[in-house]
Amino acid sequence: MGKSTLGREVGARLKLPFIDTDELLCIKHGHESIRQLYQQVGEQTFRILEKEVVFSLKNTPPSVIALGGGTVLDEENVAFLKALGRFVYLKASFSFLAKRLLQGELPSFATDKHFLQLIYEKRLPLYEGIAQEELDLEKEEEPADKLASLWRKLRGLD
């Protein structure tokens, strides 16, 4: 289960809006896929556009937000998002992620499995470093239930 599918399920269970920053980027810039947008504008411009979308969430009511994997590469994004809410790291091994990713279209930046592994290894310490909560996708049979329960607990509702 990917971050967007999981986010939609958690949002539905909590009766909260679900926001996918990749979807917002595509809508705002008229592209059908994040891969298409990334390939058209390149890494540098893509990160600028991504940051604009992140900062547009300023007055968003409580929501479940799925971020693009590279959003955390920008420290200003991280600081801004931490002020909005909590980071939940969806933990998974490279082999677990690669199995899923290689079945469909690769992420916009990826060219092959080796490149995916390099990106995974580069980003892993960032994800682990900013995580305020962690959910191991390989160990949780019902990750949406676990995340919904975590949210209720953090809000003092459980």
Examine the pLDDT at 102 and tell me if it is beyond 90. Answer: no
Q: How far apart are the first and last CA of the chain?
A: 25
Instruction: Read off the pLDDT band of 100 (50, 70, 90).
Output: confident
- 81 burial (CB, 10 Å; 0-12 / 13-18 / 19+) is buried
What is the maximum span of the chain, computed from C-alpha positions, in angstroms? 46
pLDDT at 154: 78
Query: Which of helix, strand or coil describes residue 135?
Result: strand
pLDDT at 105: 55
Q: Given CA atoms 25, 66, 103, 123 in this order, what sign does their dihedral have?
A: positive
The verdict on domain 3-154 having CATH code 3.40.50.1010 is no
Band of the pLDDT at 141, cuts 50, 70, 90?
Answer: confident
Other Cβ atoms within 10 Å of 50 Cβ, number: 24
Higher per-residue confidence, 23 vs 155 = 23
Tell whether pTM > 0.85: yes
pLDDT at residue 107 greater than cutoff 70 = no
Which sequence spans correspond to the domains of the chain? 3-154
